[in-house]
Amino acid sequence: MIYTVTVNPSIDYIVQLKELTLGEVNRMDYDNKLPGGKGINVSRILKELGLDNVALGFLGGFTGQFVKEELEKVGLKTNFTPVAEDTRINVKIKAQSETEINGRGPKISEAEVAAFKAQFDKLTADDVVIFAGSLAPNLDDNFYFDLIELIRSKGAQFVIDTTGESLLKTLAQKPLVVKPNNHELADLFDVEFTGMDDIVKYGRKLLDLGAQHVLISMAGDGGLMITKDKVYRSYAPKGTVINSVGAGDSMIGGFVGTYAKTKDPLEAFRYGLACGSATAFSEDLADKAKIDEILPLIKIEEY
């Protein structure tokens, strides 16, 4: 089974207006509320690809209830641990440019953490756990590392979509895939890239440090996959970008879901790219029809 973990889910409150003027009363042209959080987005993409998965994490209050109901409406399996405080609301303003204001999220009590962790005792070598998104304000990185140790001790695989020191720290535990974008990769090694060769050189370091597969996403410029003996490059298909929120989560969903099914990294990369672009070209996350439309446009070449 594939499990996603969203420690700090959200209602994504999408607000559209022609122009945002600071210090004035602004009126919306359109608004929408979506269940959000990176792990939840991965789960929704897996579901679109027809892959069985369970969304885990913490949900609380009326906002948490909304997220749970929206996910159940689309038939997603969930097993969220209830918490006392309200799930956060993240505001996504689409005006002359895109601005995101993400909430801090609820604090999680020790008893709530213990109830959540108990679920991991039953994992087996057939399972994959995907951690994605920020932690609750009172939890530190050890929250993930302790769980990763437990997961690896059961022989299960894990993926963690994180950056900086936290990413470096998890590599020794051999994540199934890591997917920094090119800017995150440069920050990670405190360097400036002058071309694709640099990106490949530093991406390869992640492989050497323990990652099983390395993807580097480059937004509208496509992506790279670095394996032990090959580097694959894809240019993103052209299209009208409607929404950049969740393209990275979609890429992870497409890669991990397809890899779990086929064990073929190249096919998994192809689906990852298609899901990322399909989301960029959709109002919400990509649906199956959009992913199917984009798949034949994905061209991958050896670099």
Mark the segment that binds ligand ATP (CB under 6 A) among 46-54, 162-170, 217-225, 263-271: 217-225
Member of 2, 14, 15, 36 binding ligand F1X (CB under 6 A): 36
Residues 154-193 that bind ligand ATP (CB under 6 A): 181
217 lies in the site for ligand ATP, by CB under 6 A: yes
Does residue 48 interact with ligand ATP by CB under 6 A?
no
Per-residue mark of binding to ligand ATP, 234-273 (x: CB under 6 A): --x----x--x-xxxx-x---------------------x
Positions in 114-153 near ligand F1X (CB under 6 A): 133-134
Whether 141 is catalytic is no
Which among ligand F1X, ligand ATP, none contacts residue 206 (Cβ within 5 to 8 A by kind)? none
The 3-state secondary structure of the chain, one letter per residue = CEEEEECCCEEEEEEECCCCCCCCCCCCCEEEEEEECHHHHHHHHHHHCCCCEEEEEEEEHHHHHHHHHHHHHCCCEECCEEECCCCEEEEEEECCCEEEECCCCCCCCHHHHHHHHHHHHHCCCCCEEEEECCCCCCCCCHHHHHHHHHHHHCCCEEEEECCHHHHHHHHHHCCCCECCEHHHHHHHCCCCCCCHHHHHHHHHHHHHCCCCCEEEECHHHCEEEECCCCEEEECCCCCCCCCCCCHHHHHHHHHHHHHHHHCCHHHHHHHHHHHHHHHHCCCCCCCHHHHHHHHHHCCEEEC
In the bound state with ligand ATP, the residue whose beta carbon lies nearer, of 147 and 218, is 218
Q: Can residue 245 be called a binding residue for ligand F1X (CB under 6 A)?
A: yes
Segment near ligand F1X (CB under 6 A); pick from 37-45, 115-123, 201-209, 264-272: 37-45
* Residues lying near ligand F1X in the complex (CB under 6 A): 8, 10, 12, 36-38, 41, 90, 100, 102, 133-134, 245-246, 249
Cite the active site residues: 249
* Residues lying near ligand ATP in the complex (CB under 6 A): 181, 217-220, 222-223, 236, 241, 244, 246-249, 251, 273, 276-277, 280
